[in-house]
Amino acid sequence: MKHIIPSILALLVALTACGQPQALEPPGAGTAPAPPVESGPEPVSVCTVAEGITFSLLQSVYPPGVERLTMVMDNRSDFELCHGEYVAFQQYAGGQWQTLAYAARDVVFHDVAWVLQPHRAGQFTIDANLLARPLEEGLYRVSGDAQMWLNSEDSALHEPVPGWQVTFRVAAEATPEPDYALFIHGQPVSGMEPIHIVFLNSTGAWAYALDIPYLERMTEGGAWEEVPYREQAGFCGTPSSMPPNGRIWSEDPAALWGALAPGLYRLRYAVGPTEETKGEAVGQFTVETPEICGLPLAEGT
């Protein structure tokens, strides 16, 4: 049976007093009616705050009345990443961004900072239910602060970043976030090295995952095609447990499928609240074209 090393994401995103960033004053409650729906620019649900560090919403389109948004952080740098709790919401209306009010003036954002270690991924939840009114159809923007630094007490090594900011659309045809999903860390990935996977569990409860990866590759015609296992690949049919905050996982593509050709892939696992694992967790990733490095030919050859 494959050696399982589940790791609760909360251990990766550890509470610390890293500089104690000041929480901003939340905007007060308002009674103004919702502005009319405007299409505005296309949503950008991924924000690169520094080289190798991204903040990504799990979806770019959400249904009306959505209460929670999942933000995934991918830190591929050598720096620790720090972010606070405070977030600000805005809606695009009248050709400009308008700040949305919270339901109460005493909405509390703790004056603490959360740290994500280098070369790790993590997640946190953005609570839209705190706003004065539900999110209706339209274009929205949510933002927060961030800071990165080397693992040192020397303040000279701290690197401020402009913070993160992503946009998303609320549309009637959109579907809610899935209870379980996969985030592939460090994309694009190599077709030979281990694939680092974050299992996202937004249910708030323990779950089970059947640790048998099912891999597909998109063909030139736009269809998903199964990637067959190598003959010696074998799996245990007993589900393993998954903590409420998800877990870290990895797969060795060379051992399971052989070297993966460049392209777009879809990875799936059977998951669920019981050992029957009737649900599914899905994530996509790209495999890069390997760089070919060669020495110059000697003169006369």
The confidence band for 67, taking pLDDT boundaries of 50, 70 and 90, is: very high
* Separation CA 163–CA 252 (nearest Å): 34
292 pLDDT exceeds 60?
no
Question: pTM of the entire structure?
Answer: 0.73
At 279, which amino acid appears?
A: G
Mean pLDDT throughout 189-207? Answer: 91
Residues 6+ apart with CB under 8 A from 164: 47, 49, 55, 83, 143, 144, 145, 146
The confidence band for 219, taking pLDDT boundaries of 50, 70 and 90, is: very high
Concatenated DSSP letters of the chain: -PPP----HHHHEEEE-SS-PPPPPPPPP--PPPPPP---SPP--EEEEETTEEEEES-SEE-TT--EEEEEEEE-SSSEEEE-S-EEEEEEETTEEEEPPBS-TT----S-EEEE-TTEEEEEEEEGGGBSS---SEEEEEEE--EEE-SSS-GGGEEE---EEEEEEE-TT--PPPSEEEEEETSSB-SSSPEEEEEEE-SSS-EEEEEEEEEEEE-TTS-EEE-PPPTT-----S-EEE-TT-EEEEE-HHHHT-SPPSEEEEEEEEEESSTT--EEEEEEEEEPPPP---PPPPTT-
Only one residue has tokens 């249910």, namely: 203
Beta bridge partners of 285: 265
Mean pLDDT of the residues in the chain? 81
pLDDT, position 9: 38
pLDDT, position 281: 96
- Give the residue among 54, 85, 90, 87 at the shortest CA–CA distance from 72: 54
- Give the residue among 266, 233, 247 at the shortest CA–CA distance from 197: 247
Q: What is the pLDDT of residues 150-196, one digit of tens each?
A: 555 555 556 667 789 999 999 999 999 999 999 998 889 999 999 99
* Separation CA 237–CA 180 (nearest Å): 20
pLDDT, position 160: 66
- Percent of the chain scored above 70 by pLDDT? 75
pLDDT, position 169: 97
CA dihedral 61, 143, 110, 157 (to 10 degrees): 130
pLDDT, position 123: 86
pLDDT, position 26: 39
The confidence band for 124, taking pLDDT boundaries of 50, 70 and 90, is: confident
* Separation CA 192–CA 246 (nearest Å): 25
The confidence band for 19, taking pLDDT boundaries of 50, 70 and 90, is: very low
296 cis-preceded (ω within 30 degrees of 0)? no
pLDDT, position 248: 87
pLDDT, position 118: 87
- In the chain the domains, ranked by start, together with CATH numbers, are 9-170 (2.60.40.2550), 180-287 (2.60.40)
